[in-house]
Structure 1
Amino acid sequence: MPVRASIFLFCLVWITMAQLLAQEEKEKTTALKDLLSRIDLDELMKKDEPPLNFPETLDEFEYAFNEHGQLRHIHTGEPFVFNYKEDLHRWNQKRYEALGEEGYGVIVLNPNENSLEVEKVPDPAKKPSPDASDEPAEKRERKEERENKKKKDFYEKYRNPQKEREMEHIPIRENSSPEEHTLYVWDHFISKSLAKNVFIVAHSYGGLSFVNLMIQREAEVKNHVRAVAMTDSVHNVWHQEANKSIRDWLREHCCNWVSSPEPLDTLVDPMLNDCPRVSAGTEKHELTSWKSFHSIFKFFSDAHKDHEDESSSSPVTTRSSHRIKNEDL
C-alpha cells in the first residue's frame, strides 16, 4: 500500500474515533444534565441542616461595633466568622444574611449642596471695542500691564496661579436651601418608603432643618418618626415659631448630644427647654455624631421598644369609647 494512502486511512480512522468519542461525551453530559435537573439541589443541601432560626439583633448574635467601627464578637473580640458550621455552606450563608438584616435602611441627606458652580460666560456685547478708547496706544498698554501685574501679585499671594475666572451659582431646583432639600427628600423618598419606624440623626444645621420639616409636615412626621437624635444642633424652636404641640413632641422624642467637656451622656443644663441635652463626650463640634454613636443607637432602640409596648397594650378603639372621650372633652 502506498505511504500516502496508508496515512490517509490512518487520519480517517483517527477522525472517526474522535467523532465517536465526542458523541459519547456529549451523550454523557446530556444524561448528567437530565439527572441534575431532576434533583432539587436546595432540598439536598437541607439534609441534616439545623433549623434556620437566627437571632434578630446584633446583641443576640453576640456581636457589636467597637470604638473603631469594626464588627467584633463581644466575648472573644474576633471578627465575624462565616464558616460557623463546617460543610454547611447554605446554613452559614443564611446566618450571614440574618446578621446583615439589623432592620435599618439608611438615607443620607446632602443639605449643604444647594447649587452648581459654573464658569460664567462673558457677554461679548459688554466688551469694549479696542478702537473705542481715545487713549494713546502706549498709555493703554502701560495701564494693562499694571492691571496684569496687580492680578498676578494677588494670585501669587494666595498661591493660586490659575487665571481669574468669574463664577456663577445655579440653584438646584426645589433644593436651593438645606430646608428645601430636607423637605424634598421627605416628600419624595422617606414618606413614600415602606419603613414603619423612622429614626433621624440631625447634626448642626440639620436640627434646624428637621424642626422646619416638622412645622411643614407635622402630622406626617409624628406618624412616622419614632425618635430624633440631634448632635450639636443649632435649631431654635422659638425663632422658628414651632407651635406648642411640636415643642411637646420634641421634649418627648428628641435628645440633643451637645459638645461638652463632661463625660458622654451627662445631662447638660438646657439653655432652652425644647428637648433634653446631654454631653457628646467631646468639645469638638464635628466629632459629636461619632462620639455619641453608641448612645444614639441605644436611644433609638429604647424608643422603638417603648413604641412597640404602647402599640401592643393600647386598647381597641370602639365607637362607644370614642363617643365617651368626646363627651369628656
Structure 2
Amino acid sequence: MFIRPRKPAPEPHVRHTLSELGYEFDLTSGKLRNTSTGEPYEYNTYGSDKKKNAELYQSLLAPASRDVYRILVESDLHMEPIAVPDSRQPHCNIYVTPGGLSQKHLVVIVTGHGVNGGVWAWNVLVKEGLRAGSVIEYVRGCVQRGYGVLVLNPNENIVATDGFPETFNTYVGHSTPIHGSETPDEHVGFVWSRIIRGSLAETVAFVTFNTAGIAVVDLLKHDYAQFISKSVGIVFIDSAHSTFKLEREALGWLRLAAKQWENSAEPADSLVENDRVGCVAVSAGNSSDCRELVPIACMESVLEYISSCFERGLIEDPLDGEISDDSVGAVDFSGAEPGSDTDAIEDLAAIDSIQVVQPGGHVVDDGYIGWD
C-alpha cells in the first residue's frame, strides 16, 4: 500500500530587526556594520564555513531592506509614509518628501522585481550599502534640485497574519492580498490614478528599474491622454519593458520623452542599440559583473536627464514632425481609451491614509475594481 508522506508544517515566520541580529547601517558610510565590533559586514564572516556565511547573509536581507523605510523617515530626508490603499485595511506604505505632492516638479521612483520599496537590490544593499543598494542617494539628489519625490512600493502585495506587509519573496504562509496592490502593475496603476494624477505637481518624471518599466509603460498605454498631460519623461534603468501594442502617439511620446540606461561596460552615456525599448538607449558604464549596480553607475546622468525633462516641459504633440509611419513599423495600435480625470489633491494633509503600518486593521470594501 502506498502511503503519501506528510508535508511538514511550515515554520512560523519570525521577523527580526537588524539590531536583533547585531547589525546596523552606518549612516556616514552607508555600510552595514556589526554593532559589537564596529566592522563592516563581510560575506565571509565565518571564514571557510560556507553554510554559516550563507545563513547570516540570508538572515540580513529582509531586515536590511525594511530598515531602509526607517532611514527614509528618520534621516535628513524626513519622508512621510502614505498607506496604500488606506490605513483602514491591509496596506503597504509608499513614501513622499515633505510637501512633495504639492511641488511643481515630482519625481516618482519605482523599483524592480521582488524587492521592498526603496531598495534597488537586496544583495547590493547588504554587501555594498545604502548608496548603491537603495534609492536614498537618488532621493537626496532630487531634493537638492528642488523636486518632490515619491517612492513607490510595488512588491509588497500581501499582509502577513501579524498585520505587516510582505513580499512574496520574503514570506511563506497565510496572507491577505493588499487591495489595489495585488500585483506590481496594479500598485503602480492605483498610485498613479488615486494620488499622482490628481496631485498639485505640475509635471512628473518617472525613474524605473528593471521590471518597473513595464508597469509605467502600461500607464502610457492605458491612460495616454492623462499621462502625457502630466508626465515629462521616463528614465528606464536596465528596463524589461517593450513597445508591444503601444499606439502611434504613445510610441512618438516615448521616443521623445524617455531614455534607457543599459547594463553595459561601454563608456558611460555612449549609444547602445536596443530596438525593443522604443527610445534612445545608452550605456550605464557598469564595468562590474553585477547588473544590480546599474542604478548607482548611471545616477548622475539620470539626474541630469530628469532636470532636462523638467526644463523642456510637456510634449503636447509627439507626432509633430518627429516620427514617421516608416519608423512606427507594423505595431498593433489596439490600445485602450484614456481614463477619466480625478479631483486634485490640494495638500498632503488631504490624504487621510498617512500612517505607519499598524497591525490588526479591518478590511474595508470600497468597491475598487481597477486603477482607472
Length-normalised TM-score, structure 1: 0.47
Greater relative CO, 1 or 2 (CA 8 Å, sep 6+):
2
Length-normalised TM-score, structure 2: 0.42
Give 1 or 2: higher helix fraction: 1
Give 1 or 2: higher strand fraction: 2
